[in-house]
């Protein structure tokens, strides 16, 4: 699993699948070196619309949530730019969202603030959904085919690979952006992480986050996962370097090598040098085998392959994720 079922004891954050951030992707737009694609997926193993009212079931985005992509462009683990998305209550088989772009102090606010890129942004629930042009940006929100691939059963049972991709034929809710590079920062290197906040009693509470794939579900003990989801990258090294190094020592790393390995994924932000090809851990493309990479990381190279290929329904252009399975 990447960041699927990321709350403690394989639950959804806030016990709601719509709040479960599964993956973050960052790569160059097809055919355009001056534009970057950012994608976050939520709602794992979503199956699409119901054939009977209320139609949307759990296919809609959470109306009390703020979905955000945070960009640090100066290396201090604080957001310098942010794209935030909020959504209306679903009604009559329809739902819309508002997309915000914030910089500076506004990018560090939990509230959705800054420039409104698009309002009444349609949420797509079938294969007919199309991207929307919003000024210099392209946006898409809607149900799409799950791009993550992994032999989850094999990983959970001593790396005895079954050859079965647990995520093939599944759907997710996707938020995708294609933006000019200057909106992300003046230098080619950026650091990204995604967050999901939900409003409770009028206060936004962070319930999930992630930068690197396959971190929280695999390396944190169950009791620590919810606290991790509520945390901030700026605190990661102080909080997790020592315990994660100890966990890696238990997986066969010598002490010094364990600390060095843990430091490669702390803080939990996805580093992307836009001057180099986007292949994880430099950014992340949709076909990157991050599951095998993480198994190798966790076992000090003893396990090197998860044995299943990327999905074959990806698109060559925005929003890149395949149409939903109906």
Q: Is residue 308 part of a domain?
A: no
Q: Rounded to an integer, what distance in angstroms lies between the CA atom of residue 172 and that of residue 164?
A: 19
Q: Is residue 2 part of a domain?
A: no
Q: Is residue 14 part of a domain?
A: yes
Each residue's pLDDT tens digit, 285-324: 999 999 999 999 999 999 987 779 999 999 999 999 999 9
Residue linked to tokens 């690979």: 161
CB distance 3 to 216 below 8 Å = yes
The pTM (predicted TM-score) of the whole model is 0.95
Q: What is the predicted pLDDT for the residue at 59?
A: 83
Range of the domain at 34: 8-219+269-286
Residue closest to 209 by CA, chosen among 230, 237, 238: 230
Beta bridge partners of 27: 37
Q: What is the predicted pLDDT for the residue at 167?
A: 95
Each residue's pLDDT tens digit, 86-109: 999 999 889 999 999 999 999 999
- Taking the CA atoms of 47, 48, 54 and 57 in sequence, report the sign of the dihedral they define: positive
Domain count, the chain: 1
Q: What is the predicted pLDDT for the residue at 116?
A: 98
DSSP label at 240?
A: H
CB distance 285 to 29 below 8 Å = no
Q: Is residue 31 part of a domain?
A: yes
Q: Is residue 294 part of a domain?
A: no
Q: Is residue 12 part of a domain?
A: yes
CB atoms within 10 A of CB 178: 23
Residue closest to 122 by CA, chosen among 148, 147, 91: 91
Q: Rounded to an integer, what distance in angstroms lies between the CA atom of residue 42 and that of residue 260?
A: 31
Q: Rounded to an integer, what distance in angstroms lies between the CA atom of residue 46 and that of residue 260?
A: 37
Q: What is the predicted pLDDT for the residue at 45?
A: 84
Q: Is residue 238 part of a domain?
A: no
Q: For the purposes of burial, counting CB atoms within 10 Å of the CB of 192, is it exposed (0-12), middle (13-18) or buried (19 or more)?
A: buried
Per DSSP, which regions of the chain are E strands?
Answer: 21-28, 35-46, 65-72, 81-87, 96-103, 115-124, 132-134, 137-145, 171-180, 189-200, 203-210, 270-273
Q: What is the predicted pLDDT for the residue at 157?
A: 80
Q: Divide the 326 residues of the chain into consecutive groups of 10 and give the mean pLDDT of each group.
A: 88 94 98 95 71 54 97 98 97 95 98 97 95 97 96 84 93 97 98 98 97 94 97 98 97 97 98 97 98 94 88 98 91
Instruction: Measure the CA angle with vertex 11, ends 9 and 14; round to 5°.
Output: 125
Query: Average pLDDT, whole number, for the chain?
Result: 93
Instruction: Give the burial string for 110-147 (b: 16+ CB within 10 Å, else e).
Output: eebbbeebbeebbbbbeeebebbebeebbbbbbbbbbb
- Taking the CA atoms of 291, 304, 212 and 313 in sequence, report the sign of the dihedral they define: negative
Q: Is residue 316 part of a domain?
A: no
């Amino acid at each position: 699993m990447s960041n699927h079922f990321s709350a403690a004891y394989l639950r959804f954050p806030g016990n709601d699948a719509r709040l479960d951030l599964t993956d973050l992707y960052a790569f160059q737009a097809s055919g355009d070196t001056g534009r970057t694609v950012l994608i976050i997926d939520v709602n794992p193993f979503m199956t699409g619309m119901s054939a009977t009212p209320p139609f949307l079931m759990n296919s809609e985005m959470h109306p009390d949530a703020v979905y955000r992509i945070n960009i640090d462009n100066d290396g201090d683990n604080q957001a310098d730019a942010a794209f935030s998305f909020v959504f209306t209550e679903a009604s009559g088989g329809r739902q819309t969202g508002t997309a915000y772009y914030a910089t500076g102090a506004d990018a560090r606010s939990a509230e959705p603030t800054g420039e409104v890129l698009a309002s009444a942004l349609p949420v797509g629930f079938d294969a007919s959904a199309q991207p929307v042009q919003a000024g210099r940006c392209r946006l898409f929100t809607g149900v799409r085919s799950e791009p993550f691939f992994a032999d989850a059963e094999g990983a959970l049972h001593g790396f005895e690979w079954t050859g079965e991709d647990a995520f093939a034929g599944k759907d997710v809710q996707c938020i995708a952006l294609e933006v000019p590079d200057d909106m992300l920062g003046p230098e080619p290197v950026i650091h990204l992480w995604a967050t999901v906040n939900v409003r409770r009693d009028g206060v936004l509470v962070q319930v999930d986050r992630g930068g690197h794939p396959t971190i929280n579900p695999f390396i944190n003990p169950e009791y620590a996962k919810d606290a991790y989801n509520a945390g901030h990258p700026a605190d990661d090294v102080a909080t997790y370097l020592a315990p994660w190094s100890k966990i890696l020592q238990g997986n066969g790393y010598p002490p010094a090598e364990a600390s060095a390995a843990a430091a490669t994924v702390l803080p939990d932000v996805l580093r992307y040098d836009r001057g180099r090809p986007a292949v994880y851990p430099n950014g992340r493309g949709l076909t990157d085998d991050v599951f095998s990479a993480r198994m190798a990381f966790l076992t000090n190279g003893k396990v090197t392959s998860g044995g299943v290929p990327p999905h074959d329904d990806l698109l060559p252009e925005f929003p890149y994720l395949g149409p939903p399975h109906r």
